[in-house]
Amino acid sequence: METNKLSLGNISLPTLGIGTWAWGDSLFWGYGSDYGETEVEKAFATAVASGASFFDTAEVYGLGESEKLIGRFLKQTTQPVQIATKFFPLPWRFGKQAVADALTASLERLGVEQIALYQVHMPFDFFMGQQTLMEALADEVLRGRILTVGVSNYSATQMQQAHELLAKYDVTLNVNQVRYSLLTRQIEKNGILEKARELGVTILAYSPLAQGLLTGKYTPERQEKVTGARKLDPKFSVSGLSKIEPIISQLKQLGEKYQKNSGQVALNWLMAQGNVIPIPGAKNAQQAAENAGAMGWQLSSEDVEQLSLLSLNY
């Protein structure tokens, strides 16, 4: 059985976290329509109780609302919780003070003095430059306001550069947050995963269930269930759903074998890749509990390999 923890520099994180883009975001996710603060607070409490006590947010999620919600929820629990948030490199942000100010605002919204992980949301640096950006992050590690440093959506080359720049200040790059799932395996082909392993960088896998495709909820026969932005995505069309049927079928079979659901099997496959932490979203307690059900057990190496081969050319 796995230990349910991964060591990242100065911190230890659960092998699964919760992504909170949908918390407070009404524009893309419809927060405030069919779900709201009550539902996401229950998702938070359920995740913490289930051991998935790591939450990934960002200053731009819901224009700060996601951080504010987490800040309120933190006051309601006595359990240890670890938070990651992100700095968005806007064009008018230049100079180290811009990073310090953005972090101050995030900490205030979260109601904490220190966070486990601070990430650069995108590799764009505009007028600031990577050297200034990484120096500013290193300063915050020395100040003690962040424990570990990460990046997001960085290529293998960009990750290498960030790693080298931070090393000048004796700070380690610990994380690269990228899209990764059974249906999104580009990081295995473009050098990101290989470089992360070489540098000892942990991958935070966002959209690990491919926006719900890997849960088995959407099928060619039930294509009418597709709503919102998914309607515009060809992967959710009848032909797109037909294409992934063999993968969905295999996930269901393995789910029966391990007494888990399809999504839990898909998340466990990601964990089996080594030094990968999936961060699926959860809008309510049920989704949070289902996500946490991917922890505490392991697919056999044969089943991991079979899933890998089946989804290789998707």
Query: Does residue 149 contact residue 174 with C-beta atoms inside 8 Å?
Result: yes
- Write out the two tokens for 208: 């690990």
- Write out the two tokens for 30: 């419809």
Residue 61: active-site member: yes
Selecting among 31, 35, 61, 218, the annotated active-site residue is 61
Q: What is the DSSP letter of 82?
A: E
| Pairwise CA distance, residues 103 & 108, whole Å | 9
Report phi then psi at 123, rounded to 5: -75, -5
Spacing of C-alpha 231 from chain mean position:
23
| Pairwise CA distance, residues 272 & 100, whole Å | 36
- Write out the two tokens for 304: 């991991």
| Pairwise CA distance, residues 74 & 60, whole Å | 19
Active site residues: 61
